Chain A
Amino acid sequence: MSEISMNTASAAEGTMAQPQLREVPAVRMEAVYKHYGDFTALNEVDLKVAKGEKIVVCGPSGSGKSTLIRCINHIEKHDEGLIYVNGIELDHQRKNIDAVRRDTGMVFQSFNLFPHMTVLENCVLAPMTVSSMSRAEAKDLAMHFLTKVRIPDQAEKFPGQLSGGQQQRVAIARALCMRPKIMLFDEPTSALDPEMVKEVLETMKKLAEEGMTMLCVTHEMGFAREVADRIVFMNEGKAVEQAAPEEFFKNPKSERARTFLDQIIH
């Protein structure tokens, strides 16, 4: 816990003036590897995310984007290297995994709402069972966040009765009910009809404006341009480029990133 960051690589970090608290990054990955059999899904990934920073992860299909963010809350177990989340080392120990998961919220491409529970039940389950809140407290909290994602009137419905965009906003509210410090998004709009993409992106922008630390895998380049502090481009398991959006879009360094951007934008 008492590690003091000695990396000088990240220029975005604060000055040397207050190294103790300021410099514990939200996420720090060092030489992380993940293998599936012979296949290397993450290949020596280094990544540092400062508190409040917004990162967009992009790259071709199969490049390891999902694997990367799923390792951050230990839904996928990394094989080598170090991952720290808010200074907690993800060392496969139960208590550390739990601590990290309490600090992170995750939103999935396929929503993964619990279909047998109402929207409200989806939202209060974790606060009541993990944070031991009373039902009344948890309900207030849930309604607060459902209002924030602009669907308080759907609280008593089942997920199957909502549109995709509404379901994804519920998923965001459900994650927020655990008051996470970091939000992870894995292609949150890819399963949505085009007209619903906007409402979800708007919700994410609002979250970004409030200072949430965010890692988003997305191909919504408009969102990336507007919201991201940094873009991480993945290819074949490596984080090949990390740059501010303007820089990344204007002159991507690698050939692979150039062809990728060509495909995505046209």
Chain B
Amino acid sequence: MSHFSPTAAVNYFFNYFLMKGVLVTIGLTVAAVVGGLILGMGIALMRMSSNPVLSGFSRLYVWFFRGTPLLIQLVVIYSGLPQLGIKFSVITCALVGLILNEAAYLAEIVRSGFMAVSAGQREAAWALSLSPWVTFHRVTLPQAFRLMIPPLGNSINSLLKATSLASVISVEELMRRSDMLMQEHFQILEVYAAATAYYLILTSVWDAVQRRLEKHFGRSSAAKSRRVAARAPVAQANVEARA
């Protein structure tokens, strides 16, 4: 067993059992992003609210979930909570853990995106008597979203890889299924080469998507910020002073 068999690696790559694990990995990631964004948006709104209870809770939430390892969070949800009589299915445990954790990161991204939209934009919307809803979804959200894309993309890249931690609580995603194949055939390098290739493909595809998104949403902004920064130092200082 002192050699690496490329054929075996290729065979593992096209292994149906492993491919289903890839689908689970993708599913976990998509669900955690969607769930995390919804929850994260709520957490971010709470953080930006003037109510001290809401913003305090939001602060605590982010502090807790960013300050502890996802691995512990998953294990606690999966094996700790049943001790209190709370029991979920394996996949639910993984989703709850991933969503709660991702929401903390996304909340910070959402919040800083909104904070970076200048106060002048909101004031212009008010002056035009736009409703709060129109101001939000036509003026601030699109601008905040554009600023959020790069950090959002990085976070999703991390998440894609972090789903492998769910293997610890026996979710049969890509990592777990690689482990299972490895234990059956003991072709360690060959199995993990296939798994590595899948992770690289997934992250690369996401990278490409992210670049497309950045290009699509960034088409009008670059010129503007450069020009205003150069032309209106006074104006910018004013806006900052008010913010």
Q: Chain A interface (Cβ within 8 Å of chain B)?
A: 66, 73-75, 98, 101-102, 104-106, 108-116, 125-126, 129-130, 158-161, 164, 174-175, 178, 184, 190-193
Contact = CB atoms under 8 A, between A and B. Distances in A.
Nearest to B224: A160
Contacts of A112: 118, 120-121, 123-124
A192 B231 contact: yes
Interface string B114-151: 00001011011011111100100011001100100000
Interface in B189-243: 217, 219-228, 231-232, 234-236, 238-239
B197 to A, nearest CB: 39
B219 to A, nearest CB: 8
B223 A101 contact: no
Contacts of B238: 66, 109-110
Given A116-B143, A116-B146, A75 B121 contact: no
A91 to B, nearest CB: 17
Interface residues of B, number: 35
Nearest to B237: A110
B120 A160 contact: no
B127 A116 contact: no
A150 B139 CA distance: 26
A130 B130 contact: yes
Given A108-B123, A115-B221, 11 more contacts: A105-B127, A105-B128, A110-B120, A114-B121, A115-B224, A116-B220, A126-B128, A129-B131, A160-B225, A160-B226, A190-B235
Nearest to B142: A116
B117 to A, nearest CB: 10
Contacts of B126: 73-75, 101
A233 B129 CA distance: 29
Interface of B: 118, 120-121, 123-124, 126-131, 134, 138-139, 142-143, 146, 217, 219-228, 231-232, 234-236, 238-239
Nearest to A128: B134
A178 B130 CA distance: 11
Given A158-B220, A160-B220, A190 B128 contact: no
A170 B235 CA distance: 17
B240 to A, nearest CB: 11
Contact of A175 (B127, B134, B221, B235): B127
A108 B128 contact: no
Contact of A114 (B127, B139, B226): B139
B131 A73 contact: no
Chain B contact surface mostly? helix
A188 to B, nearest CB: 11
22 contacts: A75-B127, A102-B129, A109-B232, A110-B239, A111-B228, A112-B124, A114-B124, A115-B220, A116-B142, A116-B220, A125-B130, A126-B128, A126-B130, A130-B129, A130-B130, A160-B224, A160-B225, A161-B220, A161-B223, A175-B127, A175-B128, A190-B234
A54 B131 CA distance: 29
B129 A109 contact: no
A190 B236 CA distance: 12
Contact of A101 (B127, B227, B231): B127
A85 B123 CA distance: 19
Given A116-B146, A160-B223, A160-B224, A110 B236 contact: yes
A129 B130 contact: yes
B128 A174 contact: yes
A104 B126 CA distance: 11
Contacts of A114: 121, 124, 138-139, 143
Contacts of A190: 234-235
Contacts of B231: 164, 191-193
A175 B124 CA distance: 9
Contacts of B138: 114, 125, 129
Given A102-B129, A129-B131, A161-B223, A191 B124 contact: no
Contacts of A116: 142-143, 146, 217, 220-221
Contacts of A192: 231
Contacts of A126: 128-130
Given A110-B235, A192-B231, A115 B129 contact: no
Contacts of A102: 129
A216 B72 CA distance: 61
Nearest to A126: B128
B127 A104 contact: yes
Nearest to A73: B127
A88 B194 CA distance: 72
Contacts of B228: 110-111
The 4 closest A-B pairs by CB, nearest first: A160-B224, A110-B235, A191-B232, A160-B223
